[in-house]
């Protein structure tokens, strides 16, 4: 991995987790701690992060938590269309898992103003729980786990353990990148065990991802595309990517 690629991945990880230690980054990227410190110095010089003794944290993360806003707000028009399409696959009385993320947050917004009733929603996203928790026709259940400020979500083994023994009808799963080689990818390793537990608990898994994520790869791979049953995406998806999904027996749903 080239230095600029490594720094890009470090920044993606910080945007997901909020902070990281030098020693952990060195192990993760298989480089020396000196190299990681140099990477962090460059990122700090670009006014993207703040270095501290033994690590670094994302700039402005405290303000984001206080305002309860997500950092990933790009392609919102596509995400809104995807969210609207998702409502066609949610019925009154369903028990569903809503993963954390900006696209799933849009789904929660659409649910809030829909006529769908008597839902049970399990989520690891604090913002989604706060949005839907006061709705009288929706029961919201939250996982435990470690708090990730930039994504307002809970992660780690405790979050994953929550799903053991559960059997829900539908999962709406987020992703950071869909690599045609590595499958579903995420910036943070701590999320992998949670995503896998969600998939194992669900009868049907809908991957919700705008077309800009297809062909991109984040740091950590969850596994093959065959883990999902459907992908709900926008109409900018390329024909060659549609074929890849269909070759993996995944139905492509266009919003």
Q: Integer distance in angstroms from the first to the last C-alpha of the chain?
A: 35
CATH architecture type of domain 3-59: Orthogonal Bundle (1.10)
Beta strand pairing call for 168-173 and 202-208: parallel
The answer to whether the CB of 148 falls within 8 A of the CB of 137 is no
Tell me the Ramachandran region of residue 117: left when phi exceeds 0, alpha when psi lies from -120 to 50, beta otherwise. Answer: beta
pLDDT at 60: 77
What are the residue ranges of CATH 1.10.10.10 in the chain?
3-59
Overall average pLDDT of the 170-197 stretch: 92
In angstroms, the Cα distances linking 99 to 8, 121, 127 are 24, 10, 11
| pLDDT surpassing 80 at residue 113 | yes
Q: Which of 43-52, 57-66, 125-134, 211-220 has the lowest mean pLDDT?
A: 57-66
pLDDT at 250: 94
What are the residue ranges of CATH 3.40.50.1360 in the chain?
76-254
pLDDT at 12: 86
Q: How confident is the model at residue 68 (pLDDT cuts 50, 70, 90)?
A: low
Residues whose CB is less than 8 angstroms from the CB of residue 52 and which lie 6 or more positions away in sequence, other chains included? none
Q: How confident is the model at residue 171 (pLDDT cuts 50, 70, 90)?
A: very high
pLDDT at 151: 87
Distance CA 11, CA 17 (A): 10
pLDDT at 67: 64
Specify whether domain 76-254 bears CATH 3.40.50.1360.
yes
Tell me how far the alpha carbon of residue 71 is from its chain's centroid: 12
Distance CA 192, CA 196 (A): 6
Nearest residue to 66 (alpha-carbon basis) of 126, 13, 107 = 126
Overall average pLDDT of the 57-71 stretch: 72
- Please give the residue that has the higher pLDDT: either 166 or 28: 166
The answer to whether the CB of 210 falls within 8 A of the CB of 76 is no
Nearest residue to 228 (alpha-carbon basis) of 212, 211, 201, 251 = 251
Nearest residue to 238 (alpha-carbon basis) of 189, 178, 198 = 178
pLDDT at 71: 62
Overall average pLDDT of the 78-83 stretch: 96
The answer to whether the CB of 232 falls within 8 A of the CB of 82 is yes
Overall average pLDDT of the 100-129 stretch: 95
| pLDDT surpassing 70 at residue 174 | yes
Overall average pLDDT of the 119-126 stretch: 97
Overall average pLDDT of the 212-226 stretch: 91
- Mean pLDDT over each residue of the chain, to the nearest integer: 91
């Amino acid at each position: 991995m080239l230095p600029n690629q490594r720094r890009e991945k470090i920044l993606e990880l910080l945007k997901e987790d909020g902070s990281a230690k030098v020693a952990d980054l060195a192990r993760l990227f298989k480089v020396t701690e000196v190299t990681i410190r140099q990477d962090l110095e460059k990122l700090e010089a670009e006014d993207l992060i703040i270095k501290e003794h033994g690590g670094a944290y994302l700039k402005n993360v405290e303000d984001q938590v206080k305002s309860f806003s997500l950092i990933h707000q790009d392609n919102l028009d596509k995400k809104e269309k995807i969210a609207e399409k998702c409502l066609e696959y949610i019925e009154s009385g369903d028990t569903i898992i809503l993963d954390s993320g900006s696209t799933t947050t849009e789904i929660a917004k659409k649910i809030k103003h829909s006529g769908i009733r008597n839902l049970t929603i399990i989520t690891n996203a604090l913002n989604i729980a706060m949005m839907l928790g006061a709705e009288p026709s929706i029961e919201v259940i939250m996982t435990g786990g470690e708090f990730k400020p930039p994504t307002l979500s809970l992660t780690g083994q405790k979050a994953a353990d929550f799903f053991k023994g559960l059997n829900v009808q539908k999962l709406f799963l987020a992703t950071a990148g869909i690599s045609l080689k590595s499958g579903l990818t995420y910036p943070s390793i701590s999320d992998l065990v949670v995503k896998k537990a969600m998939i194992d608990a669900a009868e049907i898994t809908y991957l919700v991802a705008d077309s800009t994520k297809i062909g991109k790869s984040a740091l950590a791979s969850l596994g093959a595309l065959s883990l999902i049953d459907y992908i709900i995406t926008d109409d900018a998806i390329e024909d060659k990517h549609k074929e890849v999904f269909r070759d993996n027996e995944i139905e492509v749903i266009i919003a």
